Structure 1
Amino acid sequence: MMTDEQKHEFYQALVDKNPQYDGTFFACIKTTGIFCHATCTARKPKYENCEFVFTAEEALLAGYRPCKRCTPLTYPNSIPEEVKTLVSAVEKNPEKRWKEEDFRQLGIHSATARRKFKDIYGMTFVQYARSRRMGLAFKEILNGKKVIDQQVTFGYESSSAFNDAFTKIMGNPPKKAQIHILYANFISTPIGRMMSVTDATHVYLLEFMDRRGLEKEIETLRKKHHARILVGETNVHQQLAKELALYFEKKLTKFTVPLSLHGTPFQMKVWDQLSRIPAGETRSYRDLATKLGDPHLVRAVGNANGANQLAIIIPCHRVIQTSGELGGYGGGIERKKYLLQLEQRA
């Protein structure tokens, strides 16, 4: 989590065009929707119009595009022509979902795109395109774009008359006759911004915004519940935000917000076992498999763990490898370490 002191330090570096900070942070300019290097020669914005992030992926997921003047994604290497072509193609159609045929039309092999983006940006081209695509939806939600009242939505003749935050990146939502309204919102935490999806009675999803696979999770959620996901606040979201704040202040270890859980019978059993692990303690995948009656189900337990869509609340971060190593975590290994240490101190 970036401190206020770091933010002021980075802002001063931006004002001074300090080359020592190029690659250390990215400055996201709210008024223009772009993100820049510290040495960008563009006119400097006011401090309150700046956000500072450590990675390009964070900037993309927040809905910012690379500055054409300082080309922030070129540091520290000169940018190959193939990468320039692909970045330009993404900006022409940022909502596009890339397929092999799209690479062939540009005369670029998908494996080349993957390797070059990984070398330069620390993420694959698919991650880059996905982050830009998701960033558009996230920005729409952050801006709190106005939507028509729910009761009007149910009876309205034209679907274009109101907004589903994810329609552009995932295709059209279900037809009006099947519709279930869900609401997306964000919650800031010390280890990154999280996205919640709720309705008037339950939480359906809570994930870190930069979680790989989040796009697929949202798409699956929409299909499973025949839902439109609109921008909006609910009492359940407010309760969730309050409980998460208390959790990070080490004042809460058990969540009471109502959850909507939908999985296979085996996944439900695994998630139930996860919920029984006390805060401050860990269990191995083998421990859980044994509890479920078969120690050979380690891989199946791991898969069910990964299918959990309610980060922190269903505490998959409390599951470690049999060797004692932390193992993987959808939100990233540093977050897993942070959460375990937080709970042990609580």
Structure 2
Amino acid sequence: MNDNIYYQALLNKDSSYEGTFIVGVKTTGIMCRPTCTARKPKRENVEFFKTTKEAMLKGYRPCKVCKPLTQAGSTPEEIKKVLEALNANPSLKYKDWDLRQQGIDPTMLRRWFLKHHGLTFQAYQRIYRINSAFKKIKNGDSITETAFSAGFESLSGFGDSFKSIFGISPKHSKDQQIVDICRLETPLGTMVACATEQGVCLLEFTDRKMLETELKSLAKQLNAHLLQGENKHFGTLRTQLQEYFRGERKEFSVPLFTPGTAFQQEVWNALKTIPYGKTRSYQQQAYSINKPTSVRAVANANGMNRLCMLIPCHRVIGTNGTLTGFGGGLWRKKWLLEHEGAIPKELF
């Protein structure tokens, strides 16, 4: 019975069930997400809902600990405004006073950046400025002009910051490469995107267990540095994702960059041929590339796909119709297939 499975997931604070259910605690009138860290209620004191709307219609109010009305891991609105300002002008240098003027608690902001980016907000700003400066130097701008336009107060300070990231001075950086990285908010949770000049090369949910490994592998494969920064492809990606989730887009046209082996390229190209609203088994996918005995290899190549939704590996299912093998979580795979009309929406 689902309720017993959900209750065990609640006890375990199992993040793989995020988006699957909301729990209502009868004794307190509070609703929580599966990963809530508050004290766990007894089994007889809870009931489960598919959405927060259903729970609220039964009179439950949102928990102040896990905040079920917000996406797990989503970027707070006040931090979004700061990031948008940095996108528009990378030379900005926010100080605590500037943040307080916007009603932002600097301590909260620092904790958020440490948790979600693994670095301080000041370091994030510095990397953003260096990323912007690097691109200007690559385009032929002078190092001196670039340093001061990026908000650095001296050439030595710019050189030290540049060297701390690239390991070399600005004048020796022409052979260096950058992969831009940013966060994107979607109805299914926060995603991280990476892009080069050629196109988007990674799109994954931030709670994917293998994300850190994927990022390191991508940097090594491209011999590049992954740095927070804006990219010419991110605007198109944001727009097309919004259209997809609104049900207005069935195919993505944002340029993609997919480094990989010849076999992986073959498998990924086959994934692109699965139409919106349709599914294919791993066996059928193997047949489609004339390798019927390579089902396991095909499945492994699917798992190496770094472009969630853009290369639709979520449309591949088990031979018996089961939903298997999706790095973003099976609940998201189910949601995407229901959204596309590939499987019927089930009653809770």
Same-fold status (TM-score > 0.5) = yes
Structure 2: how far apart are the matches of 1:322 and 1:345?
A: 15
Matching of residue 320 in structure 1 with residue 327 in structure 2: no
Matching of residue 210 in structure 1 with residue 195 in structure 2: no
Structure 1's 23 and 139: CA in aligned 2 closer, same or farther, altered over 3 A?
A: farther
Q: What SS class does the counterpart of residue 118 from structure 2 fall into?
A: helix
Contact 1:246 1:252 in 2 (8 A): yes
1:195 — aligned with what? 192
Q: Deviations over 1:79-117 (max 9, x none)?
A: xxxxxxxxxxxxxxxxxxxxxxxxxxxxxxxxxxxxxxx
1:135 — aligned with what? 116
Structure 1's 250 and 176: CA in aligned 2 closer, same or farther, altered over 3 A?
A: same
Structure 1's 296 and 251: CA in aligned 2 closer, same or farther, altered over 3 A?
A: same
Q: What SS class does the counterpart of residue 288 from structure 1 fall into?
A: helix
Structure 2: how far apart are the matches of 1:23 and 1:341?
A: 22
Q: What SS class does the counterpart of residue 230 from structure 2 fall into?
A: coil
Shift of residue 153 of structure 1?
Answer: 6.5
| Aligned with residue 290 of structure 2, among 293, 297, 300 | 293
2:177 — aligned with what? 180
| Aligned with residue 129 of structure 2, among 126, 130, 147 | 147
Contact 2:182 2:228 in 1 (8 A): yes
User: Superposition RMSD on alpha carbons, in Å?
Assistant: 4.1
Q: How many residues align?
A: 238
1:235 — aligned with what? 232
Structure 1: how far apart are the matches of 2:281 and 2:123?
A: 38
2:106 — aligned with what? none
Q: What SS class does the counterpart of residue 242 from structure 2 fall into?
A: helix
User: Is 199-208 or 323-332 further displaced after alignment?
Assistant: 199-208
1:267 — aligned with what? 264
Q: What SS class does the counterpart of residue 202 from structure 2 fall into?
A: strand
One-letter identity of the residue aligned with 2:227: L
| Fraction of identical pairs, as percent | 33
Contact 1:277 1:283 in 2 (8 A): yes
1:244 — aligned with what? 241
One-letter identity of the residue aligned with 1:343: E
Structure 2: how far apart are the matches of 1:141 and 1:274?
A: 41
Q: Deviations over 1:178-227 (max 9, x none)?
A: 41122111111111111001134410111110111111111111111121
Matching of residue 309 in structure 1 with residue 306 in structure 2: yes
Structure 1's 231 and 257: CA in aligned 2 closer, same or farther, altered over 3 A?
A: same
Unaligned runs of 5+ in 1: 27-35, 40-49, 63-131
Q: What SS class does the counterpart of residue 294 from structure 2 fall into?
A: helix
One-letter identity of the residue aligned with 2:116: G
Structure 1: how far apart are the matches of 2:301 and 2:197?
A: 27
Structure 1: how far apart are the matches of 2:264 and 2:293?
A: 16
1:110 — aligned with what? none
Shift of residue 271 of structure 1?
Answer: 0.4
Structure 1: how far apart are the matches of 2:304 and 2:244?
A: 23
User: Is 307-316 or 138-147 further displaced after alignment?
Assistant: 138-147
Shift of residue 235 of structure 1?
Answer: 2.4
Contact 2:33 2:66 in 1 (8 A): no
Q: What SS class does the counterpart of residue 286 from structure 1 fall into?
A: helix
2:218 — aligned with what? 221
Q: What SS class does the counterpart of residue 179 from structure 2 fall into?
A: strand
Shift of residue 151 of structure 1?
Answer: 4.3
Structure 1's 300 and 176: CA in aligned 2 closer, same or farther, altered over 3 A?
A: same
One-letter identity of the residue aligned with 1:325: T
2:90 — aligned with what? none
Structure 1: how far apart are the matches of 2:122 and 2:323?
A: 34
Structure possessing the higher radius of gyration over alpha carbons: 2
Matching of residue 161 in structure 1 with residue 157 in structure 2: no
